[in-house]
Chain A
């Protein structure tokens, strides 16, 4: 595997389910990001981890819970989501300098 991978690629869940999104980067980077991309809206930064410590949390609802166990892996734990949370969730990574970010293919999430 090369670059940034994300699993699953598609996820359909009910409002009462609990699920997790996984991201893995094979680039030797030490910063990882979660973004949300909704139709007709700009890309929104949700969380940033640098050297496995959370450094940015953009007022994201607590039903989204990130986890970064090491510099190569990032998770987004989901519980009791709302239909408006349906979107493409993108993971990215970079060196400590955030200027060049490498994105994964995203997870298309649908909340019923």
Chain B
């Protein structure tokens, strides 16, 4: 059974204070690792997909990296509008119906204080 663990559960940062969120995973096979952002009262919003170890993706102040055991979401000089819950998920290799089954972590709630 695939497992995803995100840490920390919650993180408070001062505006401009860079940090990283961790997503560690145990899978029998990996098609991709996905990061989503979820604001209160809203559905998750897709951020990145990473497919292979060593891959990196960037979007504004966010950079996601992937190793064979974990992924990091680095936040550089965060702003209050970056406050949200960040979700990580893994997807199995393509195999018909099972391909749709993403396994999510519980998320990291990030608060950026002005």
Contacts and interface: CB of A to CB of B under 8 A. Distances in A.
Asked if A and B are interacting partners, one says yes
Interface of A: 4, 31, 33, 40-45, 48, 50, 55-56, 58, 90-92, 98-106
B100 to A, nearest CB: 4
25 contacts: A4-B43, A31-B100, A43-B44, A43-B87, A43-B104, A45-B100, A45-B102, A48-B97, A48-B100, A56-B97, A56-B98, A56-B101, A58-B101, A90-B44, A98-B100, A98-B102, A99-B32, A99-B49, A99-B91, A102-B46, A103-B36, A103-B43, A103-B45, A105-B41, A106-B43
Interface string B35-60: 01000011111100100000000000
B83 to A, nearest CB: 18
Nearest to A41: B106
B97 A106 contact: no
Given A43-B89, A90-B44, 4 more contacts: A48-B97, A98-B102, A103-B36, A103-B45
Interface residues of B, number: 27
Contacts of A58: 101
Contact of B91 (A33, A48, A98): A98
Nearest to A33: B100
Contact of B49 (A31, A43, A56, A100): A100
B4 interface: yes
B99 A98 contact: yes
B103 interface: yes
A104 B38 CA distance: 11
